[in-house]
Every structure is written in structure tokens, then in C-alpha cells.
A and B are shown apart, each in its own frame.
Chain A
């Protein structure tokens, strides 16, 4: 062997650092611990700014009712973003799914068939997103801005921009099962949010599909070279968001007993903010379901927090936008520091 190489190799190495198991655990779950820390600090600020509101049960009840509306989309959206893609069309897909319900229910008078149609419409819209991105090769940012407008327009065309009342669902198993109260208090949609979080967490962390989501987002070339079916991974992620968006749209409509054709348009910023605040990297390859879950509640608490603190509601959007920019900027800085 070359003498210069040998000499260089004999240079003393940095001493090994033995870490306490607790420190190792903290390192592994740093992202999650950070999110919980942020949640706690924000909660503390709200309690100090508006103690009467944030020390009463009502506000938490309201959060449990409304957070699932968008968190059920934010959770699978986390997969898309870990896979280094983005989906901006979920808002319209929420309404598009309900359009499917509308059409089928009006023709069959069977709300179960309508519910199935709703999910299928969402799944189809998600699959189309995936196919446009993967098979046609349109960047997902552009593709899903396009489909966002497309589905929103399609909803207005089909429904003639008329909302429909859903009072006939009141008291049905579907209504009770999706938005009823467990023990008279805990809203069912929160239970569904937990179920979706567990399913998606399991997919991401305990299946080959999930392992491939991380690899696809981290280094798409090496993933492909090592035999990962990158195309199928991405299409599956988009399809899951479509399915979940339709489900979330259904839950929200059933809870309000009315379907607004413009539903979902207001969910755009808070859903994205929940994913990014939850620590999922916009550059792909890292992210957690736990982070999105917790961040959804933080995001949803901001609006009542601002109002309770005596500011006008208009600040909400300012703060959502701020959170999105700051969390992505922090990821960019962290990435630069590490490389």
C-alpha cells in the first residue's frame, strides 16, 4: 500500500463517545420532542394571554371537534412530502368527494352508496395526481395547483354551485359513527383522526412501503438503483391523500349537516402548516406522523388563541403564513449546516 496513504491512516482518530441510553433516545426522537416543546410553549403563551379561555374545557372540546377536519388530510399528506413531492389539491378533493356523494345519493337515495362513491371519487382524484406527476413527469407543485382548480371547477359545474342539506343523515349510523359523541363528550371524528394516524404511522414505520417512502424522498436515484419501485410509491402516496381528503370532506359535511361546494378551500394553509410545523422536511426524506398530529392541534389553537387574546381574527392567516415560512426556513438552515 502507498506510504502516504498508510501514514494518513495512522493519524489518531477522535475518541469514541459513549452516550447514555436516554440521550440516545432523545437524539432519535429529537424532532418529536421539539414539536411537543413548541406545542407546550404556545399553549403556555395562550394560557397567560387568555387564561379564562384556555383554562376552560370548552376550548379543548372545540379543538377536538374541528382539528380532525384538516388533520385527517395533513396526516397522509405527510407521506407525500416525505417522498419529496407536494399535493396542493386536497382542498378541492374534499369537495369533489362530496360531489360524488351528491350525485350517487340523488340517483339512488342510498347514503351508504353515496359514502362509497365519495371515497372512490377522492381515491380517483388522488390517483390522477400521482399519474400526472409520475407518468407524465409534471412537477407535483404545478400539477396539483392545476388539479386543485380543475376539481374545484368540476364541483361547481356538477352541483351548479348549490349546496345540499344533509339533515336526512341525522341520527343515522353513518352520522353517529363519524361525528357522534363517545360517552356524550369525545367527538367521534377525533377517534377517526387517531385511527387514521395509527394506520398511516404503521404504513410509514412498519411496512416496506413506508421504508420506500423515506428512501424515495431522500435519494430517488439510489432508491431506484436498489430496486425500489419509486413510481408506485409516489402514486400510492397521492392516492392516500385523495382518499383521506374525501373522507375528511365527508366527516366535515356530516358534522355540519350541509355540503358547501366551496368546502376545503379554507383548509389549504392550516393543513400545510400542520405538516411543516410538525417537522416534516419540505426537501423530503424526513418527517413524522406524531409531529403532524401534535402540530395540527397547535395550528388549530392559533385562531381561538388570537381571538381570545383580543386581536382580530385577521391575524390568523398572517401567523399561518409565518409558521409555514419559518418552519421551512429552519429546515433549509439545518440542512445547510449539516452538509
Chain B
């Protein structure tokens, strides 16, 4: 599998604190990577480097589809097709669905006038195909405040896919969601896989990451403690090993032997 994103030897220090230390991390084409780690493990620093928010320390290299990327910025990352979906900051609550889908990338005609009909039609199509909103009560003009947590994540993921994101970063998308909403949200994550795109799925909850991830990467105190292909390890074995990591500081990275 060709990697779309590769980080080589990436470190990040803030003053005296080493948030990341010589990380080698990659995401394959059409791969969902689950990123697990305790608070302070360096998950958000890693995400901020990938999205161009922080530059890595000198010596670290970032490759996109095999090509080295220098001076990655937020705008450059977006142009490459890297899109982040934040739980709280994804949507403008009081605005309609179509305004949220086209947020910052509104369609205009050749005189620069908003193409309202075009945006409503596209939104309706996305609702029928990707979002699975079948209720007649929901229209492109529905205000997203009325949507549930899972639906809101779905809107943000749909938006990213619609605008040709190649790599979607999901920052704790299931946090605070009910069970049924989590299911909806995970369905959308599977939708990313079906659409042939890649994702980095960051979450505390192993039960949410494990079913949808192809590979799980465990970050611990700024380094990658280990990684597993999903079929190498059951959820229970993974939890067991993470607990031992917390106690002993070392992770058993051997593939699980058949019981």
C-alpha cells in the first residue's frame, strides 16, 4: 500500500518540554489509522504538525504522496487535501445545513453572486447519498442546531469528503455522544473508507476506535510505543496491554498468538 502521508524523525519541543520525540508515522492510501494515547501523549501535537499548525523541529521531514513538503502551513495542508473535523468547532449552529456544508467555500456564479440554488441542490444530493437523512422534516435549509451529535459529525465528515479531502483527521469525534449517535458517527467514519479516502481517528475510547480502524498506533509520552494491525489483536488484548503500558511504561508489541 502506498503511503499518502509519512512523517520521518519528527520531534517537537516547546521550550524545555519534548512533546514528540523522533516520531516515524505514516498513513496508507485508503487506510483508517486509530491513534490512541493518554492525555499528554502527544496526540494533539502530532495532529497540529500534520495540519501545518506547528512546524516540526529541524531534522523532521514530512512527505505527502512520496514528495517532501517543506514549510507546511494550515492553508497548504488544506490544499493538499488534509482536513480536520473538530467535535465542537466544526459547525455554525444557527446556520442552515447548506451554509455549513459550503462554509468558507461558497459556490458563486461568474458575477460573484452566491449560487443559492446550486448549493441547496448539492446539499440535498449529499443528504440523500452520504448523510442518509431521509426524513422529510430535514431540508437543506434546516438549522444544524436541531441535529444530533452524530449527525453533526456526519455533516462535518461529509463536507470534508465533498471537498475532496484525501486525509480526514477526526479529533475525538465520539466524545460526549450517546450510543446511537456514536454508531452514526462510526458509520460516517466507515464512509470515509468506502469513499477511498484515508483517516486518522483519535479517541480515548478503544471500543470506538477498534471496529473502524485498519491499524492502531499507540502514542505514549511523545513516542510511538507500538502499533498493531486490527486483526493482530482483539479489543480485550489491546486494553490489557494498554493497562500494562500505563503501569510498567513498556508495551508488549508482539502480535497476539491464537488462543
A interface, CB within 8 angstroms of B: 1-2, 4-9, 11, 13, 16-19, 24, 28, 205-208, 210-212, 214-215, 218-219, 221-223, 225-228, 281, 285-286, 338-339
Contacts A19-B137, A228-B103 aside, 19 further interface pairs with beta carbons under 8 A come to A1-B211, A5-B186, A8-B183, A9-B180, A9-B183, A16-B134, A206-B113, A207-B114, A208-B112, A221-B89, A222-B86, A222-B92, A223-B104, A225-B84, A225-B86, A226-B104, A228-B104, A338-B145, A339-B145
> Within 8 Å of chain A (Cβ to Cβ): is B207?
yes
**Chain A residues near B78 (CB, 8 Å)?**
227
- 6 contacts across the A-B interface (CB closer than 8 A): A19-B137, A24-B139, A24-B141, A207-B108, A226-B103, A227-B78
CA A219 – CA B86 in complex, angstroms? 13
Shortest distance between the CB of B12 and any CB in chain A (Å): 21
Quick one: given A16-B135, A227-B105, A228-B103, are A208 and B92 in contact (CB under 8 Å)? no
Contact present for A9 and B179 (CB under 8 Å): yes
Quick one: given A219-B92, A226-B104, are A208 and B183 in contact (CB under 8 Å)? no
Contact present for B95 and A215 (CB under 8 Å): yes
Q: Which one of A17, A24, A206, A226 has the highest number of Cβ atoms from chain B below 10 Å of its Cβ?
A: A226
Contact present for B92 and A285 (CB under 8 Å): yes
Contact present for B75 and A227 (CB under 8 Å): yes
Quick one: given A223-B92, A226-B104, A285-B94, are A214 and B99 in contact (CB under 8 Å)? yes
Interface mask (B166-197 → A, CB under 8 Å = 1, otherwise 0): 00000000000011101110100000000000
Contact present for A2 and B90 (CB under 8 Å): no
**Chain B residues near A225 (CB, 8 Å)?**
84, 86, 89
Quick one: given A28-B141, A215-B95, A221-B89, are A206 and B183 in contact (CB under 8 Å)? no
Contact present for A218 and B94 (CB under 8 Å): yes
CA A331 – CA B11 in complex, angstroms? 48
> Within 8 Å of chain A (Cβ to Cβ): is B82?
no
**Chain A residues near B93 (CB, 8 Å)?**
218-219, 285
Shortest distance between the CB of B187 and any CB in chain A (Å): 9
> Within 8 Å of chain A (Cβ to Cβ): is B122?
no
CA A214 – CA B114 in complex, angstroms? 14
**Chain B residues near A339 (CB, 8 Å)?**
145
Quick one: given A1-B211, A222-B103, are A206 and B114 in contact (CB under 8 Å)? yes
Contact present for A207 and B139 (CB under 8 Å): no
CA A206 – CA B116 in complex, angstroms? 8
CA A13 – CA B134 in complex, angstroms? 11
Contact present for A16 and B136 (CB under 8 Å): yes
> Within 8 Å of chain A (Cβ to Cβ): is B106?
yes
Shortest distance between the CB of A6 and any CB in chain B (Å): 7
Shortest distance between the CB of B205 and any CB in chain A (Å): 10
In chain B, positions 106-120 with a C-beta closer than 8 Å to chain A are 106, 108, 112-114, 116
Nearest first, the 7 closest Cβ-Cβ pairs linking A and B are A226-B104, A8-B179, A218-B92, A16-B135, A9-B183, A227-B104, A8-B180
> Within 8 Å of chain A (Cβ to Cβ): is B217?
no
